[in-house]
Amino acid sequence: MARQAKNIVDYFPHSCNHSKTMFILDSQYGNDGYAFWFRLLEAIGKTDNHFLDLNNKADFLFLVAETRVSGPGCCQELLDLLSDLDAIDSVLWNQSRIVWVQKFVDGIADVYKKRGRETPRKPVPDTRNTIPDTRNAITVTEKRQSKVKYSKVKESKEEQSKKPSVKKSVIKPHSFPETETLTEPYISAAEKLGYTGNIEMEFLRFKNYWLDKQNVKRPGWIRTWNSWISRAVEKQIPTGVQSRAKAEKELEKKMREQFPE
């Protein structure tokens, strides 16, 4: 039986004229934001059907490594920002942790036209909160099951009842509190990461930025501060190749010690 052809591409259009998404990424994250966006698009291009399902922790950590950001918190923050900017599908990301870029798929439509195949459609998560799509969309479950054939063993109700119920931790949307001040946990986190700048001014920038964001999904404000400060520390790293590599390695070590996965 012939193997089913995968819907992947080896290249995609890279426009010389950037949109507001690129300007915002560049202004807030510098070259790291620029690199993250295009490495994300590369990952989407070489993934079957051009969407990333990041519900699995291993898949998420692989994206962190592939995009070479400072850590999972920074990757989460960047994806949340892209969702706010509608650069990635905000509904799929916020409800199902799926990365879908409609403009990317539209940009490679000619490739599939030449192949004589239909362009991949936006996925519909196979969950209770199914998102309707009238364009012959594939379900995430179909993609997962197409990779491995396996036999399903039916369990009796009695056996199922014996299994302990596992409660999944859910990050609920919330806003940064207006009354939040620079307390010891924030100061301690910055000191452990080696921040040497004006911490009062840095906290004010951090607070003003997140006050403008309403009902965002965050793993915790100290963790968010940790990612924020890590980027500020990176800007203080020397420009020499060897010294910078050594400093980045030390910063990564400090982050893992402070917030182990």
- Do 205 and 90 reside in the same domain of the chain? no
Establish if 166 belongs to a structural domain.
no
Q: Do you know the residue count of the chain?
A: 261
The answer to whether residues 119 and 233 belong to one domain is: no
Residue 14 falls inside a structural domain: no
Q: What is the pLDDT of the chain when averaged over all its residues? A: 77
Q: Tell me, yes or no, whether 210 and 244 share the same domain.
A: yes
For residue 257 the two structure tokens come to 């010690």
- Domain membership of residue 141 (yes or no) is yes
pLDDT tier at 23, thresholds 50, 70, 90: confident
Average pLDDT value for residue range 59-88? 91
Residue 98: the pLDDT is 94
Q: Does residue 180 sit in the same domain as residue 137?
A: no
User: Does one domain contain both 90 and 192?
Assistant: no
Residue 47's pLDDT band (cuts 50, 70, 90): very high
Q: Give which of 56, 95, 99 is closest to 79, Cα–Cα.
A: 99
- Kindly state whether residues 132 and 36 are assigned to the same domain: yes
Query: In this structure, is residue 133 part of a structural domain?
Result: yes
CA dihedral in degrees (123, 66, 195, 34; nearest 10)? -70
pLDDT value, residue 149: 42
Directed axis angle between helix 31-45 and helix 72-84, to 10°?
Answer: 80
* pTM of this structure: 0.51
The structural domain count of the chain equals 2
Asked whether residue 58 is assigned to any structural domain, the reply reads: yes
Looking at residues 198-223, what average pLDDT do you find?
A: 82
Given this model, what pLDDT does residue 104 score? Answer: 93
Which range marks the domain in which residue 32 is found?
20-147
Do 139 and 208 lie in one domain? The reply is no
Q: What's the chain's Rg over C-alpha atoms?
A: 21
- Listed residues 147, 181, 203: the one ending a domain: 147
Does 39 share its domain with 104? yes
Question: Could you give the CA distance from residue 74 to residue 27 in angstroms, rounded to a whole number?
Answer: 15
| Together in a domain, 97 and 34 | yes
Same domain, residue pair 142 and 36: yes
pLDDT-based confidence at residue 241 (cuts at 50, 70, 90): very low
The residue to which tokens 């690129």 are assigned: 22
8 within domain boundaries:
no
Give the closest residue to 56 by CA, choosing from 7, 98, 88: 98
CB distance 71 to 233 below 8 Å? no
Is 126 in the same domain as 30?
A: yes
Sign of the Cα torsion 104, 108, 109, 115 reads: negative
Look up residue 58 and give its two tokens: 């291993």
- Closest by CA position to 105, among listed 63, 50, 144: 50
- For 185-190, which contacts have Cβ atoms below 8 Å and span 24 or more sequence positions? 185/222, 186/222, 186/225, 189/222, 189/225, 189/226, 189/229, 189/258, 190/225, 190/229
User: Is residue 15 a part of any domain in this protein?
Assistant: no
223 and 117, same domain (yes or no): no
Q: Is residue 158 part of a domain?
A: no
